[in-house]
Amino acid sequence: MKLKSISFENYKAFYERQTIQLKPITVLIGKNSSGKSSIAKLFTLLENSLMTNNDEPLLLKNNGVELGEDFENLFFGNKSGGYLNFKISFENNLEIEIGLREKSTKFSKRGYGLEIYEWKYKSDSLNLELELNNDDYFDAISENHYEVNFKGFIPNQIINKVTNEDLVEKINLENIIIDVDYIGPFRILPDRYFYLTGQTQFRDTGIKGENAYAMLGMSQVKEENKLCQDVGEWYQKYFDGWELKVNNTDKKPLVQILLSKEDMDINIVDVGQGMNQALPLVVRANIKDRPNSIIVLEQPELHLHPAAHSDLAELFARSAKDNNQTFIIETHSENMLLRFRKLVVENDFGFTQDDLVVYWIEDAELKGKELREITVDEEGVLSDWPDGIFNESMKEILEIQKAVKKKVRNKHDNFI
């Protein structure tokens, strides 16, 4: 089931409750150290907590993504003793809300161990508002007491202490799941050769894009899989005619990734960083068999020419629409945002104003950071745009003009 929104409170730099309504393209912008990465990484935390196989409500690491050294780092101001709150809303009116606090037992160490003190579940068929009361949970709606055991955020039993009925059977556990693929800002440099043993199948590209090359190689082996072909065609179109391909060597299962143009083949190791830094992003955007998945990208524009920012933006938008996926993009690229706005105006492949939302992260005085939601209309005009953002180039142009006028004036004065 598709994730519709998340809310969080007292998390990292955000003291008051903040809500992100997810669209196919959800863009996060803000100054350095504003909290963008904390939001981007939050999705991996929630994915792990919804897997129902963890004894703890939260784990600080998931698939290489780390949220802190200890649990204190999750709280606003790095101060535990308070509360963390998350609300996760899916389509079809399904939502859960989780309240967390540091364990009150004398056996827990400070900074380690959280417990669920509040758990709310709402669907068309069942409403629960459970609150921890000594050793059991009290439901504020039915006023019944329950014995509850959690795996991550999800209970594997909710037993009525009077009737022994287990309410877990009424919860749509198979729908309370999110599928996240996170690619960080620093993608791994490729090797000259790759082993394809056929024994390892990768689902995620990896936090550094480290699995993208093997995924391409396996696509070449599986002729029915078009991933390698699609990626190669994209490279040829947007990287000056250079076609990317997987080449078998005479030492199987060793393969190499080549860039080919006009009968010239170059190993991807021997080209500029732009081409290999883009590869994990292009690979992930061309994976078509993970509907409802969430692709989190931090600074996808790094090491790329500004013109390529726009091309990647269009690739992400097309993938989101064609493959029913959500892209959460943390970026400093003005070109990327401009292309998204242009695509809304053109509406060539069904990408409309309802498919794009921007969140600006700003200071809220003594209350940490807060999110400002910025929408776009059918003419590409942004609502509630903050002052001074993405106007650096115009400032530089004005400064150049001032410098030119000053230079001309000085020459004129010297001539006189």
Residue appearing with tokens 């950071």: 369
Average pLDDT over residues 367-386: 90
Can the peptide bond before residue 253 be classed as cis, meaning omega within 30 degrees of 0? Answer: yes
Q: Specify the higher pLDDT residue, 233 or 103.
A: 233
DSSP 8-state code for residue 294:
E
Instruction: Tell me if 287 sits within 8 A of 318, measured CB to CB.
Output: no
Instruction: Tell me if 206 sits within 8 A of 183, measured CB to CB.
Output: yes
- Range scoring the smallest mean pLDDT among 33-47, 370-384, 402-416: 402-416
Percent of the chain topping pLDDT 90: 58
What pLDDT was estimated at residue 197?
67
Confidence check: pLDDT of 249 > 60: yes
Percent of the chain topping pLDDT 70: 92
Q: Specify the higher pLDDT residue, 291 or 247.
A: 291
Confidence check: pLDDT of 110 > 50: no
Q: Distance between CA atoms of 318 and 330, rounded to whole angstroms?
A: 18
Considering only the C-alpha atoms of the chain, give the largest distance between any 2 of them, rounded to a whole number of Å.
Answer: 102
Confidence check: pLDDT of 252 > 90: no
What pLDDT was estimated at residue 278?
94
For residue 225, give both structure tokens: 């899989």
Confidence check: pLDDT of 19 > 90: yes
Confidence check: pLDDT of 313 > 90: yes
Residue appearing with tokens 């161990």: 113
Strands 326-330 and 25-29: parallel
What pLDDT was estimated at residue 118?
97
How would DSSP label each residue in 102-132? E--STTSPTTS-EEEEEEEEE-SS-EEEEEE
What pLDDT was estimated at residue 107?
46
Average pLDDT over residues 194-218: 84
How would DSSP label each residue in 315-378? HHHHHHHHHT-EEEEE---HHHHHHHHHHHHH-SSS--GGGEEEEEEEE-GGGBEEEEEE-B-T
- Range scoring the smallest mean pLDDT among 1-10, 242-251, 394-403: 394-403
Instruction: Tell me if 182 sits within 8 A of 40, measured CB to CB.
Output: yes
Tens-digit pLDDT profile for residues 218-233: 887 776 678 999 999 9
DSSP 8-state code for residue 245:
E
Rounded-to-10 torsion of CA 125, 131, 134, 138: -40
Q: Distance between CA atoms of 127 and 120, rounded to whole angstroms?
A: 8
Q: How far is CA 353 from CA 90, 334, 345, 373, 381, in A?
A: 21, 18, 8, 14, 10
DSSP 8-state code for residue 172:
-
What pLDDT was estimated at residue 355?
98
**pTM for the whole structure:** 0.90
What pLDDT was estimated at residue 401?
67
In whole numbers, what is the pLDDT of the chain averaged over residues? Answer: 88
**374 contact partners, CB below 8 Å, separation of at least 6:** 357, 358, 359, 360, 382, 383, 384, 385
What pLDDT was estimated at residue 392?
57
For residue 44, give both structure tokens: 């991996």
Instruction: Tell me if 85 sits within 8 A of 68, measured CB to CB.
Output: no
Side-chain-facing half-sphere of 406: CA atoms under 13 Å: 6
Confidence check: pLDDT of 39 > 90: yes
Tens-digit pLDDT profile for residues 289-309: 999 999 999 999 998 988 899
Instruction: Tell me if 65 sits within 8 A of 207, measured CB to CB.
Output: yes
Q: What is the CA radius of gyration of the chain?
A: 25
Q: Distance between CA atoms of 15 and 147, rounded to whole angstroms?
A: 31
Tens-digit pLDDT profile for residues 112-163: 589 999 999 999 989 999 999 888 999 999 999 999 999 999 999 999 999 9
**Amino acid, res. 27:** V
Average pLDDT over residues 182-200: 84
State which of 101-105, 243-247, 321-325 shows the largest mean pLDDT. 321-325
Average pLDDT over residues 175-200: 86
Helical H segments across 135-258, by residue range = 212-221, 227-238
- Range scoring the smallest mean pLDDT among 134-138, 148-152, 198-202, 352-356: 198-202
Tens-digit pLDDT profile for residues 58-82: 888 888 898 888 888 899 887 767 8
Select from 223, 262, 227, 222 the least CA-distant residue to 241: 262
What pLDDT was estimated at residue 109?
45
Q: Distance between CA atoms of 367 and 13, rounded to whole angstroms?
A: 9
For residue 179, give both structure tokens: 């599928």
pLDDT band, residue 108 (cuts 50/70/90): very low
pLDDT band, residue 111 (cuts 50/70/90): very low
